Structure formats: C-alpha cells, structure tokens
Amino acid sequence: MRLMSLTPELVALCHREEADPGPDPSWTDMNDEDFRTLALRLSNEADEGPLWVFAYGSLIWKPEFESVEQQLATAFGWHRSFCLDMVRWRGSAEQPGLMMALERGGRCNGVIYRLPEGEKPAQIERLLRREISDHESIETVRWLPVHTPQGKLRALGFWVGVKGRGTSLNQPLDRVASVLARACGHIGSGAEYLYNTV
C-alpha cells in the first residue's frame, strides 16, 4: 500500500481565511416544506427495518448525526470521484475547489451507519438539511444497494450520480491534485478535505 505524502504540516500551508460568499442565487433554495416532502418520499421508498446511511467522504470523519452501529460496506457500480465544483465551502470564485461525489462504474468502499430507532422522515430530513440545500441537488440523493460481510442491504447515499452544471467528471488526477492544493473556502481547504477523507 502506498503511503500518502500529504502531512498535517502541508495541509496547514494551504489554509487561508475566506469569507462565505453565500448561496448561488441562480440555484433554487429548498424551503421547510420541500425538505419535509423529500424526506417523506425517501422514507416511503425505504426498506422495513433500520435506517442506514452510506458514507464515503466527509460523512465518515464528520457525520454530525448519532449512530448506533457502523460497518464497512461496498457499493458496486459506483466509484468516488473529485467531481463537484466548489466556489463555496472548500473553494472560492477566484480559486474553485473540488469535493467528492459518486460517479458510475467500479466499486466504492465506505462505511454504513445505522441510525437509532425513530421516525424515519424526521431522521432523513436532518440528513437532507446537512447535505443539500437546493432543488438542483435532489436527484443526487438515492437509496443504494450495498454489500456488507453480513449480507446486502439498502442505505441512503448523497451526491450519487451527479451530472450537469457544477460537475467536472472524469478529471485526470494531476488536475485534481493541482486544484486541491490551491483551493480554500470558508470551511476549509481542499487539502484538508483530501487528508481527512483518504
């Protein structure tokens, strides 16, 4: 296995203070009713039993939700990719960044979290509010079949099958590395995201 040469010291060199530019006015913000409606739809599509969430990026190291169990899992037919263009969060208009999403093809190893027993719509709504904020992102939230040592189940995945505006698919690794080395937004740098995620 190859060791990553990125160190905390190098990550610190990439950090700089950036103001939050706020949401892009050309995207359509979701309101409370939109979140409730989407959460109810996803809840109705869920399997019986516990609610599982599939994590492959920042949800692994910064889940911001309570879980009662976690397992390693694999989503076949998908792979992690730095393909989300960021001019906010971990990038800016002057130096856009990249964050991970799932693209078609291959396999993605990740972690699944089982949420505590409770009202699924309310649990899903909390997750939605963390992960998405606009109507244009709704189609990237979906149930994924995942494989675990104990068998197959379905877990909720975010930023799955992204396409269109705001995405840069199939980028060469040298370009991704160059972007991540320079980009920084109001919540942190691309280098920090890479270090924590990989």
Report the catalytic residues. Answer: 131
Q: Are strands 69-86 and 97-114 parallel, antiparallel or unpaired?
A: antiparallel
CA distance 160 to 198: 18
How buried is 31 (Cβ within 10 angstroms: 0-12 exposed, 13-18 middle, 19+ buried)?
A: exposed
CA distance 65 to 137: 21
Instruction: Look up tokens 């976690």; give the residue.
Output: 70
* Two structure tokens written together for 56: 């492959």
CA distance 183 to 94: 9
Q: Are 79 and 105 in contact (CB under 8 A)?
A: yes
Q: Are 42 and 141 in contact (CB under 8 A)?
A: yes
CA distance 128 to 134: 10
* Helix, coil or strand: residue 51: coil
Q: Which letter does DSSP use for residue 147 in this model?
A: E
